[in-house]
Amino acid sequence: MTPANLQKNIQSGYMLLLVLVFSSIFFVIVSSFVASIVTQSKVINQRVQLEQAGQIAEAGLNYYKWFLAHYPGDVTNGTGLPGPYVGVYYDPEGGAIGEYSIEVASTTYCGELSSIDVSSTGHTYADPDVSRTVSARYAQPSVADYSFILNADVWVGNDVQITGPYHSNGGIRMDGTNNSSVTSGQATWNCTSSFGCSPGGTRDGVFTTTANPNTSLFEFPSAPVNFTGMTVDLSIMQPKAQSQGLYFGPSGKAGYHIIFRSDGTVEVRRVNAKVNEPNGYAWGYYMNILNGTSLVGIYTLPASCPLIFVEDQVWLEGEVNGKFTVAAADVDSSGVDPSIILNNNITYSNTDSGLLAIGEFDVLVGLEVPDDMELNGIFIAQKGHFGRNHYDTSMPNSWEQYIKRNSLTINGTIVSNGRVGTKWVNWLGTYVSGFNYRYNSYDRNLVLDPPPLIPRTSDLYQFSQWRDAN
C-alpha cells in the first residue's frame, strides 16, 4: 500500500469515527428529548388524573353534606353499617368516569352528636392508581362562632376591643373597637340616658359616638337570633350528668366551689357560708365572697361525658385541661335559678381544652378577683345577664381595693339574656367601678371543636374544617 493510499484510509477512518460519534450524540439527544416528552406527557396526564380524582373526592364530600341535610345525624349513609361507602361519579357528557369512597366518623358527648368527620378518596377509571383524599368536619353552627350574643340593648364602651362577630337582638351603641361584624336585630331603637344618650332618642340599630369602630361592619336590621330556641334545655342536661357525668344536688349551704386542676381533675368544695354584706355596699347586689369551704371530692370525669350539673350556686375558677361543661341550675324548683360566680382566673392547659359554663340565671365576675383577670370559655347567662355588680366606693377598706380592677380579658363567647356590664361610670361619665380595660376575642379552637352540649344556632350542618391529604 502506497503512502497516499494509507493516508486516504486514515482520513476515511477519522471521518467514520466522527460520523459515529456525532450519530451517537444525536441519538442520545433525540432519545433524551423523546424521553422527556414522554415523561412530561405522563406527568401532565397524572396531574390531570390527580385533579379529576380531587374533583371526584370533593363530590363525595358534597354528597354527604347533602345527605346530612336530609338525614341529620346519620353517620352510616343510611345503611346502619360501618363504611367505607362507595359512590360512582358521572360526567354529564361521558357517563361514569370514577368513584369516591367515603369514611365517616363522629364525635359524641353524653350520647349527643357534636360533629361529623368525613373523609373522601376519589379516583378515575382511566387511572385507578392515582387517587386523592380530602376530608371535612361537618357541624351545626354554634354560639362559639360569636364573641357576643345578647338579647338586650347594649352600650359597648370606648375601652373595649372585640375580635369576632358581635350580635344583639336589641340596639347597640358601639363605641369600642371591632374587627368583625356588629349586627343588631333592630332597625332603630330608643337610646336613653342609661346608655349615655343625652338627650335620649331614636338611634340606628347600631351606632357610635367615637372614631374607634369600623362602621363598615355595622349591619342592621339583621335576622334576630332565636334566643329561646338557642338556649340549653337544662332539664335534658340533668339526667345526663346523673347517669354519665357528675351531678350535685342542693348543698344545704351556700353552694359549691369548683376548681379545675391542671392534671385534668376537678376539685369540688361545699361553700359553708358567704361573707355577710353590709347593707348598701353592693348597690343592692350580693358580693358573693366565700366564707369557708369543705372538700367534697376530687374527680376525674369520663371523656365521653365531661359534664358537671349542680343544683345550686357555683363559684368557678382554675386551669382547664380538657373539654368540660358546667351547668348551675335547679330544674325542679320554680323560681330558684342558680348563678355562676367567676371567682378567679380561668385558663387553659393547652389548645385542646375548652369550657362551657351555663348559669340558669346570671354569670357574674366576683368582687375579690385579680387586677388583670383572664377568662377562657363560653359563658351563658340563660335568664339573667353576664357582668360584674356595681360596688359602692364607701365599702370597708378590706373590700374597697377590689372595686376597681385594671383589665378583663375574655377568650371565648358571652351569651347573655340581659344587658352586659363589667364597667360602671357615673352620670358624669367618670369610671367608678369594674374593669377599666376590656378585651374580648372569640376562640377559633372552640368553633372547630366545642365543649359538650354547646347550644347550636342552626340545625343545618356546615363545613367547619377542610383538609387535602395530598
456: which DSSP letter?
B
Q: Say what the pLDDT of residue 48 is.
A: 76
pLDDT for the residue numbered 270? 98
Q: Say what the pLDDT of residue 458 is.
A: 86
Within its chain, how far is the Cα of 417 from the centroid?
Answer: 20
Enumerate residues 6+ apart whose C-beta is below 8 A from 434. 388, 390, 404, 405, 421, 422, 423, 424
- How big, in percent rounded to 5, are the helix, strand and coil portions of the chain? 20, 40, 40
Q: How far apart are the first and last CA of the chain?
A: 73
pLDDT at 31: 63
**Cross-strand partners of 116:** 106, 138
Best CA proximity match to 218, nearest among 205, 233, 228, 230: 205
Given this model, what pLDDT does residue 121 score? Answer: 96
Phi, psi of 53 (to 5 degrees): -60, -40
Backbone dihedral angles phi then psi of residue 49, each to the nearest 5 degrees: -65, -40
Tens-digit pLDDT string for the chain (470 aa): 565 554 555 555 566 666 666 666 766 666 665 555 655 656 666 677 889 999 999 999 999 999 998 998 899 999 999 989 999 999 888 789 999 999 999 999 999 999 999 999 999 998 899 999 999 999 889 999 999 999 999 999 999 999 999 999 999 999 999 999 999 999 999 999 999 998 999 999 999 999 999 999 999 999 988 887 666 778 899 999 999 999 999 999 999 999 999 999 999 999 999 887 766 555 445 788 999 999 999 999 999 999 999 999 999 999 999 999 999 999 888 888 999 999 999 999 999 999 999 999 999 999 999 999 999 999 999 999 999 998 877 777 788 899 999 999 999 999 999 999 999 988 888 999 999 999 999 999 999 899 999 999 888 888 878 888 77
| pTM of the predicted structure, to 2 decimals | 0.86
Is the omega angle on the peptide bond into residue 3 within 30 degrees of 0, that is, cis?
no
- How many other C-beta atoms can be found within 10 angstroms of the C-beta atom of residue 301? 21
The strand ranges marked E within 2-111 are 85-91, 95-109
Measured at the alpha carbon of residue 346, what is the angle toward residues 341 and 347, in degrees to the nearest 5? 170
Q: What does the domain layout of the chain look like in residue ranges?
A: 3-142, 231-454
User: Residue 283: what pLDDT?
Assistant: 47
CA separation for the pair 364, 287 (Å, rounded): 10
Give the burial class of 441: count Cβ atoms within 10 A of its Cβ; 0-12 exposed, 13-18 middle, 19 or more buried: middle
Residue where the block lists cell 349513609: 77
